[in-house]
Chains A and B, each alone.
Chain A
């Protein structure tokens, strides 16, 4: 049974991505009691799934390491993984939260030696790699996962595979009797840092994501660059595993479109600019990037990156929302069709690979969950006094980059602290 001590002076942070980790750490380092819950088996969120991140092009592992160190050092912060909120009632200073915690089937004895993973044969689509590779039924979500503990996929529990894993573990870390738990908490304030998810590319029918294997999304492209990732760091075409050197990027894939997401996802322009630098990093002058765009929205200081990429003779910008992606017979090349609005030139351009700069949408449907939060028309959480002691942090509030998400999360921590201070009588109510 998971023991959780919480009072109406505790802050609950939902979501363990960069925003949730930041909000939880800032509040805990100010001396507040914090519970951080994450629905996945590990902290990290979607930043941990990037190859590098702008503006400085550092590896996410670096920022992750610093945050993990802070988490480990803080005794006021309690992390619960595989946990989700089932319901919330109450008001600022006194919320009752129902959590459901899924079984991990692996306890604290785990040293992450990997023996169970070797023993198990059944494999499933690897969520961390957006399904670009398979992972075993006993697995570590990714190299830097926190907690550094294996997980058993519930689909092997009850099969001989689970028994194999158990037998392989010499630390008695595998406990097949673990059960799903329901836990009720009392907390004073709640920070929603549940983040974003990529828009479902299958819905953008003209772009053939569901029909042409050489049409991928920007999040998948990030995984391809990873040296220990599904392609060993090579940009390979899914259809024939050939190296793709002539790469097209389609902007606003799902965003700024009444048929899909109405809002501008704000990050995808800069993400594409970054990804053209990946192509150069891989191939030098032998790689070619073509960016099809409506307008480039590299906000404020990202303009520098835009100017830098514009100077690269191997990157072409085509001002056009692509009308359709068809298939070139024989080569498997995706062909982009449309009109270049600068001069109204009609084009049908074949490329080796197409990357959809996919839109960002909220990862949680709060209305459906019955959580009383004011949402905007895209489903992101609005800053509204009606939300009481509940605040959004990072991309739960809007599409934004890591830098802004961290600032936003820090602000939300401060707001939650103010609620707790009122409860504690530190400040007047």
Chain B
């Protein structure tokens, strides 16, 4: 068979993207795109993304901001007549694009996801105080101060009801075996990368 007829990108997605083997099951009915509450804001709604994958549009898909808009509302999964785990495929695509370094510059969801991950893996627990603050200052110092002031009331309320410990700013508590956790994550990444099909 001529290479022109091989859809390498579909095979790449099937092999490397979480739940990617489902993409070929889509029958292009459009109910996912019509059901997505954020649909009007995406570059390409899910059904279009699936068609683009099958059409071999690798760059357009992986560099698109679309899958980053998914809020995990699960409307699409609930309605898909073919039972595609669309939400999970969206996250799988986002994760894969990130691994390949193809995320659009300044993608807000991607930035937040990175902050969350870094915060979590540092000590094995999410430090809500530092995560919250880093989120406020994600887009620069000025905006950070403004947001902090706006959120002051909430913060004080949480302090009063002991929902937040101000000492967490000093690093906070972690899980029992932080080094062990980090070793496990490193190993997991190695396995994942070794498995990945190079195209």
Whether A and B are associated in the same complex: the answer reads yes
Q: A interface vs B, CB < 8 Å? A: 206, 252, 256-259, 294, 319-324, 337-341, 344, 346
Inter-chain CA distance A346–B47, complex, in Å, is: 13
For B48, list chain A residues within 8 Å (CB).
344
Interface core residue of B30, B39, B45 (most chain A CB under 10 Å): B30
Which residues of chain B from 30 to 60 have any CB-CB distance to chain A below 8 Å in the complex?
30-31, 33-35, 39-40, 44-45, 47-48
- State how many angstroms separate the Cβ of A324 from the closest Cβ of chain B: 7
- State how many angstroms separate the Cβ of B46 from the closest Cβ of chain A: 10
For B28, list chain A residues within 8 Å (CB).
294, 341
Interface core residue of B27, B33, B34, B47 (most chain A CB under 10 Å): B34
Can you give 12 A-B contacts (C-beta < 8 A)? A252-B29, A256-B27, A259-B79, A294-B27, A294-B28, A320-B30, A321-B34, A322-B31, A341-B28, A344-B33, A344-B45, A344-B48
For A341, list chain B residues within 8 Å (CB).
28-30, 33, 47
For A320, list chain B residues within 8 Å (CB).
29-30, 34
Q: How many residues of B contact A (CB 8 A)?
A: 20
Decide: B47 and A259 in contact? CB cutoff 8 A. no
Q: Does B125 contact A (CB under 8 A)?
A: no
A292 (CB) vs chain B CBs: closest residue: B30
Inter-chain CA distance A215–B188, complex, in Å, is: 52
Q: B interface vs A, CB < 8 Å? A: 27-31, 33-35, 39-40, 44-45, 47-48, 78-83
Decide: B39 and A339 in contact? CB cutoff 8 A. yes
If over half of A's interface residues share one DSSP class (helix, strand or loop), that class is named, otherwise mixed; here it is loop
Neighbour of B34 across the interface among A252, A256, A258, A324, CB < 8 A: A324
Decide: B82 and A346 in contact? CB cutoff 8 A. no
Interface core residue of A252, A259, A321, A341 (most chain B CB under 10 Å): A321
B76 (CB) vs chain A CBs: closest residue: A323
Inter-chain CA distance A8–B64, complex, in Å, is: 71
A257 (CB) vs chain B CBs: closest residue: B81
- State how many angstroms separate the Cβ of B86 from the closest Cβ of chain A: 13
For A294, list chain B residues within 8 Å (CB).
27-29
